[in-house]
């Protein structure tokens, strides 16, 4: 009896591979001559005989329970029609094969023709994941777009859609008016954005990763698109692998009054246009708490105007950061809890003064809510003291510290670890990538990566030594 209960939990709560479920009916094996398609080894010529078997009775029980299905082993179209024929022998047409299915995850990896898996789903479906690795992208995208249309007819309540490998021009997002979460990995054109905003007004989270290179049309780029609105959007994350400016276009053309989290690229964005973009974002998204920007040589200090942020990540060329940028950020964002600055470990050198131990002390003095910090640090020729830090120059809530890279002389590791531990008494996780200068002064990663572990061990050893006197003092009181 306990085994039956365990199986019930598996089919109702866990993701099940379709072929695994179908083995209840009979053996499912790769078809001869094609390792990408699977099928039943034996089939009944008469549906009435098939549905009278113990295998069908078991499958009939399982298919009515399963809530999450993934498809990695693809059935031949003939076998899908065979299953649908068996289903029609026991219930009316157009019923979902899995009437309780809520999550369908299909990965079509190099398959010549997409299989019609929409027959599995019905009205309860709320999440659809579809990944396609095509040989002919336009032909395949159209075929899968038709499959999405069939799913939409059967499952009008889909709230989450995750598509990968498709061109947005072939996807009609308006088929899913209840959509709340969209993840699109593939080519996304700005022409698709107005339709998405108009026909999916309930969207709360959008994740886009665009990787196909398209030539930038200068006329289209300089033409302001019609204003759009996503009144419920809380999260927008975009990542552009090629030289495109999709994110900037979206931000200029969209009002997102409830946005709290924003991640985008400005690597191909003209720095002089940043002065107009930032006020637009700040004015249209006043609730923004988390901001992540990837760029090259930007005016990083301009992001200090987002004074209500709790989390800030600025990733770009380290030599483009100035002391004024960093002090402006920490001075104007009083409640910041997480701060990550920098990007390229190879661009900080002896003359880079924006990231120094003195800057860490200034952060400790001004950022009283800071709990996570990830910055590069230049501790080579900049004076710093190994004397105990005063309470005013100590981080109060910092629990995570990453110094990537930490430029330091080999002989200075121990005294700097002592200085750092007293500056950061509350840190529980410390990570670093060490860079030492060689005889010519060139910085290089030490060949022995264990040095980083030694540095981290020294840090926590000093931290524990400093804790003991405080414990004794507290006990004596």
pLDDT digits (tens, 9 = 90+) for 10-30: 666 788 899 889 988 888 888
Phi, psi of 4, rounded to the nearest 5 degrees: -65, -40
| Beta bridge pairs of residue 103 | 68, 127
Structure tokens at 339: 């701060």
19's tokens = 């072929």
Residues (pLDDT < 50) of the chain are: 1-3, 213, 215-223, 345, 347, 471-477
Token pair in block for residue 328: 């402006």
Give the integer Cα–Cα distance in Å for 474 and 464: 15
Interstrand relation of 205-210 and 228-229 (parallel, antiparallel or unpaired): unpaired
The DSSP call for residue 349 is -
Q: What is d(CA 422, CA 466) in angstroms, rounded to the nearest whole number?
A: 8
Let me know how long the chain is. Answer: 477
Tokens 């999916």 locate to 200
Give the pLDDT of residue 265. 87
- pLDDT at res. 221: 42
Q: Using one digit for the tens of pLDDT, what is the confidence trace for 419-429?
A: 899 899 999 99
pTM: 0.86
**What per-residue confidence (pLDDT) applies to 86?**
93
Distance CA 297, CA 274 (A): 11
d(CA 115, CA 75): 7
Mean pLDDT taken over the chain: 82
Contacts (Cβ under 8 Å, ≥6 apart) of 440: none
CA distance 202 to 463: 49
Alpha-carbon torsion (35, 38, 43, 47), positive or negative? negative
Q: How far apart are CA 196 and CA 180, in angstroms?
A: 11
| pLDDT at residue 167, rounded to an integer | 78
pLDDT tens-place string over residues 316-374: 887 788 888 999 999 999 999 999 998 754 545 555 556 888 888 899 999 999 999 99
Rg (the chain; Cα; Å): 29
CA 88 to chain CA centroid, nearest Å: 42
Q: What is the spatial distance between Cα 465 and Cα 386, in angstroms, rounded to a whole number? A: 15
Residue 474: the pLDDT is 47
Query: pLDDT value at position 271?
Result: 64
Q: How many CB atoms are closer than 10 A to CB 57?
A: 13
Q: Provide the pLDDT for residue 448.
A: 61
Instruction: Please answer whether residues 421 and 457 qualify as being in contact, where contact means their C-beta atoms are separated by less than 8 angstroms.
Output: no
pLDDT the model gives residue 230: 95
Burial of 250 (0-12, 13-18, 19+ CB in 10 A): buried
């Amino acid at each position: 009896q306990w085994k039956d209960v365990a199986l019930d939990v598996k089919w109702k709560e866990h993701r099940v591979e379709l072929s695994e479920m179908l083995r209840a009916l009979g053996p499912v094996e790769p078809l001869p001559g094609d390792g990408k398609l699977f099928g039943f080894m034996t089939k009944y010529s008469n549906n009435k005989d098939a549905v009278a078997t113990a295998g069908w009775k078991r499958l009939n029980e399982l298919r009515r329970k399963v809530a999450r299905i993934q498809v990695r082993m693809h059935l031949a179209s003939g076998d899908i029609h065979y299953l649908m024929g068996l289903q029609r022998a026991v219930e009316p047409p157009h019923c979902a094969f899995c009437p309780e299915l809520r999550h369908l995850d299909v990965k079509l990896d190099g398959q010549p023709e997409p299989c019609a898996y929409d027959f599995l789903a019905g009205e309860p479906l709320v999440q659809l994941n579809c990944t396609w690795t095509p040989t002919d992208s336009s032909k395949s995208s159209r075929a899968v777009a038709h499959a999405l249309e069939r799913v939409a007819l059967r499952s009008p309540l889909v709230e989450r859609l995750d598509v990968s490998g498709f061109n947005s021009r072939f996807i009609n997002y308006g088929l899913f008016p209840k959509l709340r979460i969209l993840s699109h990995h593939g080519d996304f054109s700005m022409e698709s954005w107005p339709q998405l905003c108009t026909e999916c007004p309930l969207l709360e989270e959008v994740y886009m990763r665009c990787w196909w290179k398209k030539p930038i049309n200068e006329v289209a780029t300089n033409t302001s698109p019609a204003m759009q609105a996503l009144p419920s959007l809380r999260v927008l994350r975009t990542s552009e692998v090629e030289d495109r400016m999709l994110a900037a276009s979206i931000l200029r053309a969209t009002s997102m009054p409830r946005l709290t989290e924003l991640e985008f690229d400005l690597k191909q964005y003209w720095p002089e246009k940043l002065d107009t973009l930032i006020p637009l974002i700040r004015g249209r998204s006043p609730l923004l708490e988390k901001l992540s920007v990837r760029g090259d040589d930007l005016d990083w200090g301009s992001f200090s105007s987002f004074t209500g942020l709790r989390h800030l990540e600025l990733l770009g060329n380290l030599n483009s950061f100035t002391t004024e940028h960093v002090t402006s950020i920490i001075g104007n964002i009083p409640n910041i809890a997480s701060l990550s600055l920098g990007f390229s470990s190879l661009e900080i050198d002896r003359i880079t003064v924006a990231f120094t131990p003195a800057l860490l002390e200034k952060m400790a003095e001004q950022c009283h809510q800071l709990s996570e910090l990830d910055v590069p640090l230049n501790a080579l020729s900049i004076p710093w003291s190994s004397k105990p830090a005063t309470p005013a120059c100590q981080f109060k809530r910092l629990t995570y510290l990453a110094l990537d890279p930490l430029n330091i002389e080999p002989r200075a590791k121990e005294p700097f670890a002592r200085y750092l531990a007293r500056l950061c008494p509350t840190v529980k996780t410390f990570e670093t990538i060490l860079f030492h200068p060689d005889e010519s002064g060139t910085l290089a990663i030490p060949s022995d990566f264990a040095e980083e572990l030694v540095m981290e061990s020294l840090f926590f050893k000093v931290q524990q030594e400093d804790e003991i006197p405080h414990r004794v003092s507290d006990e004596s009181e």
